Amino acid sequence: MSFSAAKGMGPAPDEGPPLLPPEFLIERPRRLRRTPALRRLVRETQLSRDDFILPLFVVEGSSVRQEVSSMPGVFRESVDKLAETCREAEQLGIPGVILFGVPETKDSEGRAAWSTDGIVQRALERIERASPGLVRIADLCFCEYTDHGHCGVLDDQHDVDNDATLENLELQAISLSDAGAQIVAPSGMMDGMVASIRAALDEARHDQVSILSYAVKYASAFYGPFRDAAGSTPAFGDRATYQMDPANVREALKEAALDVDQGADMLMVKPAMPYLDVLRRVKDKVDVPVCAYQVSGEYAMILAAAQNGWIDRERAMRESLTCIKRAGADFILTYFARDMARLLKA
């Protein structure tokens, strides 16, 4: 029977009269939405405190806690304050944190990134003592450490020199693992970065440190507030020769496959909300955990709209995270981690 017949609009000319009364044939999916309990029963995606990683920014000094102007509720903290935040995160049941360093000195290569008493190195040691149960993830990149703000060493053309940058990434990975990182997360989108970091870690007896590769990272406008927080805006040009073109998905699948082949333990897709199709396709393709990074601009948009009274902050937060999980994220890096964990605890 045709749809128009089922809807009681009368039979198509060659079909004769309907065999059953039309109301009998209308599909009624609303049946399962009638009460809150029914909806809970059939809900496919549930957020849990286990789903979140909290990104943190660490600065020099003591008792420092500066709010990032474009990210209300997000702070740049000195190691002592960061340790308090980590304790709170642990008490809220968040499994882990990812650290970004904002060093005092920058140079053309970003040497502070692999200094034994670097800012992230000290933070990792402190967290290991204060909150040993938290998973400690260290971001590996140079944009916060270079005076030009690019994610590696520059060549004569002012482009990032891939292979020279790999050597520094190895140094950074070893240094941060020495300091207690359990996961290193290379975010610079250099070719071959996973293989070279894996080999360097293994040789330095860090075979238990895992690699969470930012395998699929787009050249995105949504990183703006992060660059305010980390002081990592490129002094010239952009990151389009290493980060991916937002228009593309084929190369996302290629990057993901390459990184798994090179030994990545987990992959990341970043940003999250505008790239849910990419997340789903990567998730379907690989057999390692895949996470998504709900980045600074995604957070800032929700906060800004909420501050204007244009959107409900709590509902938008919950919906955005639920949808990222539904699209395939095994876990989510989000500046909402603590707020969401508090809600789920209640």
Q: What is the 3-state secondary structure (H, E, C) of 242-284?
A: CCECCCCCHHHHHHHHHHHHCCCCEEEEECCHHHHHHHHHHHH
Task: Report, in Å, the least distance between residue 255 CB and ligand PBG.
Answer: 15
Do 210 and 182 form a contact (C-beta atoms < 8 A)?
yes
Nearer to ligand PBG, 5 or 53 (CB): 53
* Two structure tokens written together for 85: 């935040």
Q: Is 270 a catalytic residue?
A: yes
Q: In this structure, what DSSP letter does residue 208 have?
A: T
Q: Which residues lie near ligand PBG (CB under 6 A)?
A: 139, 141, 143, 151, 187-188, 223, 226-227, 232, 239, 295-296
Strands 71-78 and 65-68: antiparallel
Q: Pick the closer one to ligand PBG by CB: 5 or 109.
A: 109
Token pair 């916060």 in the structure block, residue = 144
CA distances from 151 to 16, 62, 126, 167 (A): 70, 28, 26, 13
Nearest distance from residue 234's CB to ligand PBG, in Å? 8
C-beta closer to ligand PBG: residue 121 or 296: 296
Rounded Cα distance between 118 and 78, Å, is 12
Q: Which is nearer to ligand PBG, 5 or 184 (CB)?
A: 184
Compute φ and ψ for 138, nearest 5 degrees.
Answer: -115, 125
CA distance 292 to 266: 11
| Distance of closest approach, residue 20 Cβ to ligand PBG, in angstroms | 56
- Nearest distance in Å: CB 239, ligand PBG: 6
- Of 6 and 154, the one with the shorter C-beta distance to ligand PBG is 154
Tokens 């190195």 found at: 121
Q: Residue 83 CB, nearest distance to ligand PBG (Å)?
A: 22
How far is the C-alpha of 201 from the C-alpha of 185, rounded, in Å?
A: 13
Torsion sign over Cα 228, 232, 237, 240: negative
DSSP, collapsed to helix, strand or coil, labels residue 8 as coil
Residue, CB closest to ligand PBG: 226
Choosing from 81, 106, 217, 325, the catalytic residue is: 217
Task: Considering the complex, state which of residue 118 and residue 188 has its C-beta at the smaller distance from ligand PBG.
Answer: 188
Question: What is the CA angle 305-330-216, rounded to 5?
Answer: 75
Catalytic residue among 106, 270, 283, 325: 270
Q: Minimal CA–CA distance to 299: which of 332, 268, 269, 267?
A: 332
Q: How far is the CB of 122 from ligand PBG (least distance, A)?
A: 20
Q: Catalogue the active-site residues.
A: 217, 270
